Amino acid sequence: MGRKARKNIITENKIRIIGAILNLFSICGIIFQEGSFAAVSKAGAIYLFGIYYIFFLVALFLFSGYMLIKNALPKLSIIFNKKMIGIYLIIIALLTLASLNFYHKETFEVFMKNHLQIINSSITLMFSNKVYAIKTGGMIGGGFSFLFGMLLSVNGAKIFSYVLIFIGICVITGFSILDFIKNNYNKVKESDLFNKKEEHKEKEVEDKEEKSNKNFMSSISNLFLKEVDEEAKPEEQYIVDLKELDQYKTKNDSKVILEDLQKTMELEQIKEEDLIPNNNSSKEYVLPTLDILKPTKNKLKDRNKMVQKVSSILVQTLSEYQVEAQVVDAHIGPSFTQYELTIKTGTKLSKILSLDKELSLSLGVKDVKIEAPIPGKKTVGIEVANDETDMVGLREILEKTPLNKKDNKLLVALGKNVMGLAKFCEINKTPHLLVAGSTGSGKSVCINGIIISILMRAKPDEVKLMLIDPKKVELGIYNGIPHLMRPVVTDPRQASVALQKLVEEMERRFSTFEKNKVKNIEGYNSLNIEKMPYIVCIIDELADLMMVASKEVQASIMRITQMARAAGIHLIVATQRPSTDIITGVVKSNIPSRISFAVSSGIDSRTILDQTGAEKLLGKGDMLFKPIDDNNPERIQGAFVSDEEIAKVVDYAVAQQIETHVDNLFMNLETPDTKNEVKVEGSKDDENNDDEEAFYNEVLDFAINAGKISASLIQRHFRVGYNKAARTIDTLEERGVIGPSNGSKPREVLIPKEEEI
């Protein structure tokens, strides 16, 4: 039965090929109009299509070409798709119009007989090599012309044919008459002529409402943006007089005013002062040594027997499937071993790749990862998990930092590759990083390793961190370190606002670069000006942010990832849901470097890395790292850092210097629920104003005695954050105590010591 079926298939294929060749032969003969075979073919085309026999030639050519290329008949989905139906309607209409001139009110048999005589006369003249003219639409056109003429008359059939042509064009192009009418109706409705009367009537009312709303909103904005002075209200609250609010209300604008008020409060949550300090906040900060981290203690294990055993099983299993191979090398890594094999010339790599399940069954392991070929080599790599996994410590990797990269503040430790070499990632060259993997695969440990690597290398005035942790349990331990721009953000709505403020900081930095005629942060820091710190924003769970404020978060991520590299702002996004609704096309296209931990399916692996492989990882820190400059991901065993080590590094950083952000900066990241609460004058928060005034007086005395003052000097002497120190400097300048800014030099105090304020 098998041989008969195979013979039938071969016979069908031969018939198709022969038929396609004959069709093409007929087309060539008709075009060049030579030979009896060509004449017969042309006569058949004229018999069916008449004057439009060219349609038959085109259809025959496409049909033959498809059979030769695909070796199969065209599918019905191709023959009767939407565009083809439109083409059929146009052809039928043209054939009908060509045959309507010969329509007479008679029976169908008589009409078709007369029609056939006209066609035969044309064909006879063609064979006699005389001049002839084809005037009909063939038998197809004759049939439709008789049907339409009998139902609609000749003129009605012509009109109907033109309508069919128009419908066919609409079907092909996707043009919609209803949409066209609606769009034009809306344009006419919105035109000046249509709304002239209504606009004239409502003009005065709108002007009054705009004036009242503008006056009200300007008063509210001025109230929010007012600096702290002797007679100011507490800056941590928005104080609005309800009587003043009623004064601007009208009968129909109360909702508009409240909505505008909420928008203003949302936009002006953080004042128009620099988000990140540009000064050297603490030159006395001492970086921690590697002794603060635990050394890794791995027992020496002899794995030669394991390598020999696995090698023999691999060679034997491949030979059973007609693949001749030989193990030439083995690289023992922390969690897996890569076996290099040479294969016989002529063996397809796809055959080896399809044997991963058979090899894992023979070895008795969960999964086997095959790399065919190994990049840059003439060998095939088969990665098999070790019996026991060696732990890779963060200290072990940091101790192997290359000498030429020791000064890179954004060099973070990842782990060990299959060769046992320490692997690092330069965040400033990444420039943004996507970290994804299933729960428990090692994603959070990797994020902690990145943060600790930065804390071990960079001072607070060199690198700033913005940590966003919607899960509220992973990054909260870092609260209090001086590297933080603000306390760890745990509310998704506040995180959305924080990302928007990060975009504003990026724009501010670009304005500074433009003024100083530099292109990036490296060029700016090379000038003799106060150095600008790098910013690393880490989002530990993107899924929660996308669920709450997807559009706002995507817009901020897109702007940061597209432009922020030159400004020294880098984004690290982590998620345990590698689905397309979380890792969208916008996120993937703008974050080129990826780290994938173990995932459940190849689809998830493709979502992260644009290729499979992550579904075969072992978990517990086993990752695939795909940097921006390499299309082939590298398998790495991630470095482990314990909670105890994290606590030690955090305590050391907190003891060195207090955090440099201002507390009310975080408090101003209000959620929509709290923004609706408008506070009334006369609240009991006037004590904050007294504290600010007392602090101002202390700074004033210090400035007069010292004869000079700067924000960094206030920070070091009074142990406060940059934003508070900068606001105090602005207040001193407004009151005429100090002179204007003079580059990186301290401000000059204009009041002598003898004068009392």
Q: How many residues does the chain have?
A: 757
Same domain as 453, residue 375: no
Q: Which amino acid appears at position 163 of this protein?
A: V
Identify whether 366 is part of a domain.
yes
pLDDT of residue 625: 93
Same domain as 20, residue 94: yes
Q: 743-755, pLDDT tens digit by residue?
A: 777 888 887 765 4
Same domain as 400, residue 378: no
pLDDT at residue 597 is higher than 90: yes
Helices 36-49, 54-70: crossing angle, 10 deg rounding: 110
Q: 319-372, pLDDT tens digit by residue?
A: 988 888 889 888 888 888 899 999 888 888 888 888 888 898 888 888 888 888
pLDDT at residue 681 is higher than 90: no
Sheet with 569-575, side-by-side order of all strands: 422-426, 411-417, 634-638, 622-626, 593-596, 433-436, 569-575, 534-539, 463-468
The dihedral over CA atoms of 606, 612, 615, 616, expressed in degrees to the nearest 10, equals -160
**How many other CB atoms are found less than 10 A from the CB of residue 201?**
9
Same domain as 380, residue 312: yes
* Distance in angstroms (rounded) separating the CA atoms of residues 594 and 626: 5
What is the domain range of residue 498? 394-663
* Distance in angstroms (rounded) separating the CA atoms of residues 515 and 494: 32
Percent of the chain with pLDDT over 90: 12
Going by the DSSP 8-state scheme, the letter that residue 471 receives in this structure is T
pLDDT of residue 640: 92
Helix (H) or strand (E) holding 537: strand 534-539
**How many domains, in total, are found in the chain?**
5
Q: What is the largest CA-CA distance in the chain?
A: 127
pLDDT of residue 676: 42
pLDDT of residue 299: 62
pLDDT of residue 228: 33
Q: Which residues contact 498 (CB under 8 A, 6 or more apart)?
A: 466, 468, 486, 489, 669
The mean per-residue pLDDT over the stretch 180-209 comes to 54
The CA angle 187-192-195, to the nearest 5 degrees, is 90
Same domain as 629, residue 512: yes
Any idea which of 76-85, 187-196, 260-269 has the lowest mean pLDDT?
260-269
Q: Which residue has the higher pLDDT, 542 or 53?
A: 542
The dihedral over CA atoms of 286, 292, 298, 300, expressed in degrees to the nearest 10, equals 60
Same domain as 701, residue 618: no
pLDDT of residue 425: 92
**How many other CB atoms are found less than 10 A from the CB of residue 124?**
12
Q: Which residue has the tokens 């033109």?
A: 162
| Average pLDDT across the chain, whole number | 75
Q: Which residue has the higher pLDDT, 105 or 320?
A: 320
pLDDT at residue 58 is higher than 70: yes
pLDDT of residue 413: 92
The mean per-residue pLDDT over the stretch 404-428 comes to 88
Domain boundary residue, one of 663, 696, 714: 663
Q: Which residue has the higher pLDDT, 409 or 255?
A: 409
Q: Give the pLDDT band of residue 175 (cuts 50, 70, 90).
A: confident
Q: 619-630, pLDDT tens digit by residue?
A: 888 999 999 888
Domain boundary residue, one of 663, 697, 720: 663
Q: Which residue has the higher pLDDT, 305 or 594?
A: 594
How far, rounded to the nearest angstrom, does the alpha carbon of residue 145 sit from its chain's CA centroid?
A: 57
Q: 705-734, pLDDT tens digit by residue?
A: 888 888 888 888 888 877 788 888 888 888
Identify whether 678 is part of a domain.
no
Any idea which of 170-174, 224-228, 735-739 has the lowest mean pLDDT?
224-228
Q: What are the tokens at 240?
A: 């609005």
**How many other CB atoms are found less than 10 A from the CB of residue 294?**
16
pLDDT of residue 461: 87
pLDDT of residue 118: 67
Same domain as 548, residue 650: yes
Identify whether 676 is part of a domain.
no
Identify whether 241 is part of a domain.
yes
Q: 549-573, pLDDT tens digit by residue?
A: 888 888 888 889 888 889 999 999 9
Q: Where are the beta strands (DSSP E) in 600-714?
A: 622-626, 634-638, 708-709
3-state DSSP of 345-385: CCCCHHHHHCCHHHHHHHHCCCCCEEECCCCCCCCEEEEEE
Q: Which residue has the higher pLDDT, 583 or 424?
A: 424
Same domain as 428, residue 363: no
* Distance in angstroms (rounded) separating the CA atoms of residues 281 and 458: 13
Nearest one of 356, 411, 408 to 380, comparing CA atoms: 356
Tell me the CATH number at 475: 3.40.50.300
Same domain as 133, residue 48: yes
pLDDT of residue 193: 44
Same domain as 545, residue 418: yes
Same domain as 158, residue 202: no
Which pTM does this prediction carry? Answer: 0.53
Q: Which residues contact 421 (CB under 8 A, 6 or more apart)?
A: none
Identify whether 338 is part of a domain.
yes
- Are 718 and 699 in contact by the 8 Å Cβ rule? The answer is yes
Identify whether 612 is part of a domain.
yes
Identify whether 66 is part of a domain.
yes
At 134, is the secondary structure helix, strand, or coil? coil
* Distance in angstroms (rounded) separating the CA atoms of residues 687 and 693: 10
C-alpha distances in Å from residue 245, one per residue of 25, 250, 431, 671, 672 = 88, 10, 48, 22, 20
Q: What are the tokens at 74?
A: 């065209």
pLDDT at residue 292 is higher than 50: yes
The mean per-residue pLDDT over the stretch 422-429 comes to 90
pLDDT of residue 624: 92
Any idea which of 469-473, 499-503, 580-584 has the lowest mean pLDDT?
580-584
pLDDT of residue 660: 53
* Distance in angstroms (rounded) separating the CA atoms of residues 12 and 8: 6
Q: 532-547, pLDDT tens digit by residue?
A: 899 999 998 888 888 8
Tell me the CATH number at 744: 1.10.10.10
* Distance in angstroms (rounded) separating the CA atoms of residues 534 and 180: 53
The percent of the chain in helix, strand and coil, each rounded to the nearest 5, is 55, 10, 35
The CA angle 234-712-452, to the nearest 5 degrees, is 95
pLDDT of residue 647: 92
Q: What are the tokens at 718?
A: 């009074």
Q: Give the pLDDT band of residue 232 (cuts 50, 70, 90).
A: very low
Q: Which amino acid appears at position 98 of this protein?
A: A
Q: 479-511, pLDDT tens digit by residue?
A: 989 899 888 998 888 888 888 888 888 999 999
Tell me the CATH number at 324: 3.30.980.40
At 523, is the secondary structure helix, strand, or coil? helix
At 466, is the secondary structure helix, strand, or coil? strand
* Distance in angstroms (rounded) separating the CA atoms of residues 699 and 737: 11
pLDDT at residue 651 is higher than 60: yes
| Upstream peptide bond of 373 is cis (omega within 30 degrees of 0) | yes
Percent of the chain with pLDDT over 70: 69
The mean per-residue pLDDT over the stretch 138-160 comes to 79
pLDDT at residue 251 is higher than 80: no
Q: Which residue has the higher pLDDT, 134 or 346?
A: 346
Q: Give the pLDDT band of residue 256 (cuts 50, 70, 90).
A: very low
Domain boundary residue, one of 122, 148, 180: 180
Q: Which residue has the higher pLDDT, 81 or 494?
A: 494
* Distance in angstroms (rounded) separating the CA atoms of residues 723 and 732: 14
Q: Give the pLDDT band of residue 478 (cuts 50, 70, 90).
A: very high
Identify whether 637 is part of a domain.
yes
Q: Which residue has the higher pLDDT, 715 or 236?
A: 715
Q: Which residue has the tokens 């428990």?
A: 440
Same domain as 437, residue 375: no
